C-alpha cells in the first residue's frame, strides 16, 4: 500500500473544477481524496512542499512512439515511460507502428506488461486499425479493446482506402473508442521529405504539399459525419486543416484534434542547412500555417496538445536529409516549450494549457485522469513555473536525442510527477530512492 | 597555403551564398587557366603535393573527367572513388566515408551524391576543402560557373541578358545553380517547362515562369536546355517523350521564328530529338562544346582558389608558381 501524499501549498489549476487557487491536494489509495486549504494529513503521509509551484491534473500525451517491440535501440517502453515522467506526463498513449505491429490482443498485453514493470508514467496501448497496418482488413479491434487498447490508428501508415476508414469509424462505435488518423494522402505526398514551398525548392528537397494533409482531413471529417463515428486527427499542421476542423465541429461532427509543440513553434525555415532534427511528418510548414495552428490551439479547435514523440538513434539522423527518418523526441521538452513560449508568450493562459495537456486528452481518449476532483485517479503534475532551463539533449531520459530545440531556453520545469499517488519523478521518487 | 585565407571560404557547396564579387573572381581566374589546356605540355605545378579525392556516388563521366583533367593539369595527386549503384550510397556510408577520408589526411574532396545537401554534410564534417560536383536536386555550382563563363565569352557581359532555363526544373541542380549565379551577375532569368516539372515557389527566387517554349524563345537571348531524364516519364510527370519534343523541344523551326539569334547551351549529355533537335545542337548558335572546354578552366580556377591561391596571381601561377 502506497503512503498517502499531500501536495502542500501549490497553485492548483484544475479547469474541471474551475479551480485556480493556492490549496493542498491529498492523494490516498491511488486516488485524489481531497482538495482544499489547510488539509490535515493522515499519519505517515508524504508531505511535498509545493510553495511557488503549479499543481495540475497529470499531463497526458496521447501520441508517442515507444519503439518497443522491434526498435529497442531507439526507445523502450521503460525508457519512454521514464522520459514521460521526467517531462511531467503521468500517462502516454503508445502508437502501434512497432515491429511487430500491435494489431492483436497479445501485442496490447505485451505493452501493458512492459509498462507496469517500468513503474513510471502510465502507458496506454493504441491498437492498429488494420492487420499489420497494411490498410486492407480491420484488425481485431474488439479483442484489443478488451485487452486494454484505448484507441485505434494506423499512424505512420495512413489509411488510403477510404472504404476501410469508413468501416473503422462505424465498427469502433461498438467499443466507444476514437479512431485516430495521421491524415496524409500518400499519392500527393509521395517521396516528400519536407514541406513543399520556397524552402524545399531552394534546398532541392522533395516536398509534401499542404494539400496532401488537407485532402485526408476533409475525407476523415466527411466520413465521421456520415458514420457518426469518432475521429481523432493527429498532428494537424495546415491552416486549411484547422479551419476545416473548426467548421466540422460547428456542424456537430465528433472530432478531436492534436497540435504538436513543433508545429506551434517552428516553420520550414528550420530545415535550412539540412538539419535532420527538423525532419518530421507532417513537416514543419509556413509561418501562416504555424499561426493557424496556434489560433486553433487557443480557440480549442485543436483540443489536444500531443508531442508525437518519435525517437531515433543518432546514427540514423546523422545522414543526408533524404536518408534520415522522420520524427523528433518531445516528451521532455513539451511542458517547458508550451509554458515558456505559449503561456508566458501570451497565446494561452495556464488553465487552457492544462485543458489541452490533461483534461481534453483524457476526454478524447476516454482515459482516467485529467481532473483533480476527489475520486479521480491520483495522477498529479507539479512544476516550477519560474525555472528557466536550457535544453541539453544529453540529459534526456529518452534513449534518443533527436530534437530541434537543443539550446533553446525554456521556462517551467517538472518537479514531481505523481502516478496513482506514487512519486515516479522528482525528489522522494524512485530515482532518488 | 592557408585554407582559411581562400577568397571562397573553405568549400564550394553552391552559388546561393556566394557574392557577385566571388563569382566574378572565379570567372576571372578561369581566364588565364584556359590557355594551359591549349599548350603542348598541359601541366603547371600549382597544386603539386596536394591530394584530391573525386568521390562519386552517382555515375558521371563528363563532370568527373573534367574535374580530373583540372586536377592533373594543376599537378595534384588524385584518387577516384566511384560508389555507383545506389544501394551503397545511403546515410551512414556517407558519415563513415567522411571519417575515413579525414583519417587519410587528404586536402580536397570533389563529391557527387544523389542526396540534396550531401556536399554540405561532408563539408561540415571534415577539415578538407569540399567541392560540390552535384548534390541531388540542390546545386551543381561548377556547371553553372562554366555556363556563366561561356555566356560571358559570347556576349562580353552577363548583366542585362535574358537567360531562360528550359526543361525539368524540378529535379535540376543545374537550374538552381544557374538561377543563383545569373541573378547575382545581373541577368534576367526565366524558366520554362511542363508545369509538373516546375518546383513550387520558384518565382519567389526572382525568375519568370513560362509554361510554353514559344514564349521563352520570344523572350530570351540565351536558352540553357536541360537534359530530360528518361525516368521522368515512368514516374508519370509526362505522357511521352514524343509529346515533350512536340511541346517543349528546342527545334530549328521554332528558333527560326525568333526575331533574334539565340545562344544555345546544354549541360549534356543530350537526348537528341527529345529536348533538343540535332540541327540546333550542331548549329551555328550552339556553344555546347565550348561549355565542355570552359568546364576544365573553371574547375581549375575553383581548385586553385580553394587551395588559397590569390586571384591576381593566377597569371603567375600559370607560368609555374605554386598556389
Q: Kindly identify which residue of chain A lies nearest to residue B135, measuring between CA atoms.
A: A204
Domain identity same for A67 and A41:
no
- Judged by CB atoms closer than 8 Å, whether chains meet at A321 and B202 is answered as no
CATH number of residue A147's parent domain: 3.20.20.140
**A418 shares a domain with A270:** no
User: In this structure, is residue A330 part of a structural domain?
Assistant: yes
Domain holding A35: CATH number?
Answer: 2.30.40.10
Does residue A190 sit in the same domain as residue A307?
yes
Contact indicator for B55, B110 with CB cutoff of 8 Å: yes
Residue A431 within any structural domain of the chain: no
- Which pLDDT score is estimated for B320? 67
A274 touches chain B (CB under 8 A): yes
Tell me if A394 is assigned to some domain: yes
pLDDT at A432 over 60: no
HEC states along chain A?
CCCCEEEEEEEEEEHHHCEEEEEEEEEECCEEEEEECCCCCCCCCEEEECCCCEEEECEEEEEECCCCCCCCCCCCHHHHHHHHHHCCEEEEEECCCCCCCCCCHHHHHHHHHHHHHHCCCEEEECECCEHHHCCCCECCHHHHHHHCCCCEECCCCCCCCHHHHHHHHHHHHHCCCCEEECCCCHHHHCCCCEECCHHHHHHCCCEECHHHHHHHHHHHHHHHHHHCCCEEECCCCCHHHHHHHHHHHHHCCCEEEEECHHHHHCCHHHHCCCCHHHCCCCCCCCHHHHHHHHHHHHHCCCCEECCCECCCCHHHHCCCHHHCCCCCCCCCCHHHHHHHHHHCCCCCCHHHHHHHHHHHHHHHHCCCCCCCCCCCECCEEEEEEEEEEECCHHHCCCCCCCCCCCCCEEEEEEEEEEECCEEEECCCCCCCC
- In chain A, what percentage of residues exceed pLDDT 90? 97
Residues A253, A321 within the same domain:
yes
Asked whether residue A307 falls in the same domain as residue A330, the answer is yes
Is residue A75 within 8 A of residue A98, CB to CB? The reply is no
Number of A:B CB contacts under 8 A?
81
* pLDDT > 80? residue B92: no
User: What long-range pairs does B86-92 form, CB within 8 A, spacing at least 24?
Assistant: B86/B114, B89/B57, B89/B58, B89/B113, B89/B114, B89/B115, B90/A319, B90/A320, B90/A323, B91/A316, B91/A318, B91/A319, B91/A320, B91/A323, B91/A324, B92/A315, B92/A318, B92/A319
> Has this prediction a pTM greater than 0.90?
yes
The ipTM estimated for the assembled molecules is: 0.90
- Measured between CB atoms, which of B92, B121, B176 is closest to A204? B176
Give the HSE-up count for residue B286: Cα atoms under 13 Å, Cβ half-sphere.
19
The whole-number pLDDT of residue A430 equals 56
At B84, is the pLDDT very low, low, confident or very high (cuts 50, 70, 90)?
Answer: low
Does A321 contact B at CB distance below 8 Å? yes
- Residues of B with active-site annotation: 62-63, 90, 112, 140
Domain check: are A396 and A315 in the same one?
A: no
**A201: in domain:** yes
Same domain membership, residue A108 and residue A35:
no
- Asked if residue B124 has pLDDT above 90, the reply is yes
Same domain? A335 vs A394: no
Question: B323, B45 in Cβ contact below 8 A?
Answer: no
Taking a C-beta distance cutoff of 8 angstroms, is the pair B294, B34 a contact? Answer: yes
Q: Which of A318, A334, A365 is the last residue of a domain?
A: A365
Q: Is B41 within 8 Å of B305 (Cβ atoms)?
A: no
pLDDT digits (tens, 9 = 90+) for A103-135: 999 999 999 999 999 999 999 999 999 999 999
Residue from the list A200, A316, A320 with its beta carbon closest to the beta carbon of B118: A320
The residue from A342, A365, A388 where one domain ends is: A365
Q: Above 60 in pLDDT, residue B95?
A: yes
Q: Do A197 and B200 touch (CB under 8 A)?
A: yes
What band does B86 get if pLDDT is binned at 50, 70 and 90?
very low
Please indicate, yes or no, whether residues A108 and A181 belong to a single structural domain of this protein.
Answer: yes
Q: How far apart are CA B213 and CA B193, in angstroms?
A: 7
Residues A37 and A94 in one domain: no
Say if A151 falls within a structural domain: yes
- Test B90 with A203 for CB contact under 8 angstroms: no
| Cβ-nearest to B199 among A201, A318, A323 | A201
Q: Is A327 left (phi over 0), alpha (psi -120 to 50) or beta?
A: left
Total domains in chain A come to 2
A347 and A224, same domain (yes or no): yes
Q: What is the pLDDT of residues B166-200, one digit of tens each?
A: 999 999 999 999 999 999 999 999 999 999 999 99
Q: Confirm whether A36 is domain-assigned.
A: yes
Distance CA B257, CA B280 (A): 14
Mark whether A133 and A40 lie in a shared domain: no
Q: Is residue A432 part of a domain?
A: no
Does the residue A308 lie in any domain? Answer: yes
Cα dihedral B232→B238→B243→B245 (10° resolution): -40
**What is the extent of the structural domain holding A338?**
58-365
Asked if A320 and B176 come within 8 Å (Cβ–Cβ), the reply is no
Average pLDDT over residues B152-167: 98
Within 8 A of B135 by CB-CB distance, chain A residues are 204
Which of A320, A335, A365 represents a domain boundary (last residue)? A365
- Per-residue pLDDT of B288-313, as tens digits, reads 999 999 999 999 999 999 998 888 88
Amino acid at each position: 500500500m502506497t503512503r498517502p501524499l499531500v501536495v502542500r501549498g501549490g497553485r492548483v489549476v484544475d479547469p474541471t473544477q474551475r479551480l485556480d487557487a493556492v490549496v493542498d491536494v491529498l492523494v490516498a489509495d491511488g486516488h485524489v481524496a481531497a482538495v482544499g486549504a489547510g488539509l490535515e494529513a493522515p499519519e505517515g503521509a508524504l508531505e511535498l512542499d509545493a510553495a511557488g509551484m503549479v499543481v495540475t491534473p497529470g499531463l497526458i500525451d496521447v501520441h508517442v512512439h515507444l519503439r518497443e517491440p522491434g526498435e529497442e535501440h531507439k526507445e523502450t517502453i521503460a525508457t519512454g515511460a521514464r522520459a514521460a515522467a521526467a517531462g511531467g506526463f503521468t500517462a502516454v498513449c503508445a502508437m502501434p507502428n512497432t515491429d511487430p505491429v500491435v494489431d492483436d490482443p497479445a501485442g496490447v498485453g505485451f505493452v501493458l506488461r512492459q509498462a507496469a514493470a517500468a513503474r513510471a508514467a502510465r502507458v496506454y496501448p493504441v491498437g492498429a486499425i488494420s492487420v499489420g497496418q497494411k490498410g486492407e482488413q480491420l484488425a481485431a479491434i474488439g479483442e484489443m479493446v478488451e485487452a486494454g487498447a484505448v484507441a485505434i490508428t494506423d499512424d505512420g501508415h495512413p489509411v488510403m482506402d477510404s472504404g476501410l476508414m469508413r468501416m473503422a469509424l462505424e465498427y469502433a462505435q461498438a467499443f466507444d473508442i476514437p479512431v485516430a488518423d495521421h491524415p496524409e494522402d500518400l499519392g500527393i505526398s509521395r517521396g516528400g521529405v519536407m514541406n513543399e514551398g520556397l524552402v524545399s525548392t531552394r534546398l532541392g528537397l522533395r516536398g509534401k504539399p499542404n494539400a496532401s494533409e488537407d485532402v485526408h482531413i476533409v475525407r476523415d471529417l466527411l466520413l465521421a459525419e456520415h458514420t457518426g463515428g469518432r475521429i481523432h486527427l493527429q498532428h494537424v499542421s495546415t491552416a486549411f486543416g484547422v479551419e476545416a476542423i473548426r467548421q466540422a465541429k460547428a456542424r456537430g461532427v465528433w472530432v478531436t484534434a492534436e497540435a504538436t509543440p513543433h508545429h506551434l513553434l517552428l516553420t520550414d525555415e528550420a530545415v535550412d542547412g539540412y538539419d535532420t532534427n527538423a525532419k518530421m511528418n507532417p513537416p514543419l510548414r509556413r509561418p501562416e500555417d504555424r499561426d493557424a495552428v496556434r489560433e486553433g490551439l487557443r480557440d480549442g479547435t485543436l483540443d489536444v496538445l500531443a508531442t508525437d514523440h518519435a525517437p531515433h538513434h543518432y546514427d540514423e539522423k546523422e545522414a543526408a536529409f533524404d536518408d534520415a527518418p522522420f520524427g523528433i523526441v518531445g516528451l521532455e521538452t513539451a511542458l517547458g516549450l508550451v509554458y515558456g513560449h505559449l503561456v508566458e508568450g501570451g497565446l494561452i493562459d495556464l488553465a487552457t494549457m492544462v485543458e489541452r495537456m490533461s483534461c481534453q486528452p483524457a476526454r478524447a481518449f476516454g482515459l482516467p485522469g485529467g481532473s483533480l476532483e476527489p475520486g479521480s485517479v491520483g495522477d498529479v503534475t507539479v512544476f516550477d513555473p519560474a525555472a528557466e532551463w536550457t535544453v541539453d539533449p544529453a540529459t534526456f531520459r529518452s534513449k534518443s536525442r533527436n530534437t530541434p530545440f537543443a539550446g533553446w531556453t525554456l521556462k517551467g520545469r517538472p518537479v514531481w510527477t505523481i502516478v496513482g499517488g506514487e512519486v515516479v519523478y522528482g525528489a522522494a521518487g524512485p530515482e532518488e530512492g | 597555403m592557408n585554407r582559411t585565407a581562400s577568397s571562397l571560404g573553405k568549400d564550394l557547396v553552391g552559388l546561393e551564398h556566394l557574392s557577385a564579387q566571388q563569382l566574378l573572381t572565379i570567372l576571372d581566374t578561369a581566364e588565364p587557366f584556359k590557355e594551359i589546356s591549349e599548350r603542348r605540355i598541359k601541366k603547371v605545378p600549382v597544386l603539386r603535393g596536394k591530394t584530391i579525392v573525386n568521390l562519386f556516388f552517382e555515375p558521371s563521366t563528363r563532370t568527373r573527367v573534367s574535374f580530373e583533367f583540372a586536377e592533373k593539369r594543376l599537378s595534384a595527386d588524385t584518387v577516384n572513388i566511384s560508389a555507383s549503384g545506389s544501394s551503397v550510397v545511403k546515410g551512414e556510408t556517407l558519415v563513415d566515408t567522411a571519417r575515413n577520408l579525414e583519417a587519410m589526411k587528404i586536402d580536397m574532396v570533389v563529391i557527387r551524391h544523389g542526396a540534396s545537401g550531401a556536399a554540405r554534410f561532408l563539408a561540415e564534417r571534415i577539415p578538407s576543402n569540399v567541392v560540390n560536383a552535384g548534390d541531388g536536386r540542390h546545386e551543381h555550382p561548377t556547371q553553372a560557373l562554366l555556363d556563366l563563363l561561356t555566356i560571358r565569352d559570347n556576349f562580353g557581359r552577363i548583366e542585362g541578358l535574358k537567360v531562360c532555363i528550359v526543361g525539368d526544373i524540378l529535379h535540376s541542380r543545374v537550374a538552381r545553380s544557374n538561377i543563383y549565379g545569373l541573378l547575382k551577375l545581373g541577368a534576367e532569368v526565366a524558366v520554362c517547362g511542363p508545369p509538373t516539372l516546375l518546383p513550387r515557389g520558384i518565382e519567389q527566387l526572382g525568375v519568370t515562369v513560362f509554361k510554353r517554349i514559344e514564349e521563352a524563345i520570344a523572350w530570351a537571348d540565351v536558352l540553357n536546355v536541360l537534359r530530360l531524364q528518361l525516368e521522368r516519364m515512368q514516374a508519370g510527370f509526362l505522357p511521352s517523350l514524343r509529346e515533350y519534343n512536340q511541346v517543349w523541344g528546342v527545334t530549328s523551326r521554332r528558333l527560326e521564328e525568333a526575331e533574334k539569334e539565340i545562344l544555345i547551351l546544354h549541360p549534356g549529355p543530350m537526348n537528341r530529338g527529345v529536348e533538343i533537335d540535332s540541327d540546333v545542337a550542331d548549329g551555328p548558335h550552339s556553344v555546347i562544346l565550348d561549355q565542355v572546354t570552359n568546364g576544365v578552366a573553371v574547375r581549375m580556377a575553383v581548385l586553385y582558389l580553394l587551395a588559397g591561391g590569390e586571384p591576381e596571381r593566377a597569371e603567375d601561377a600559370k607560368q609555374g608558381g605554386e598556389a
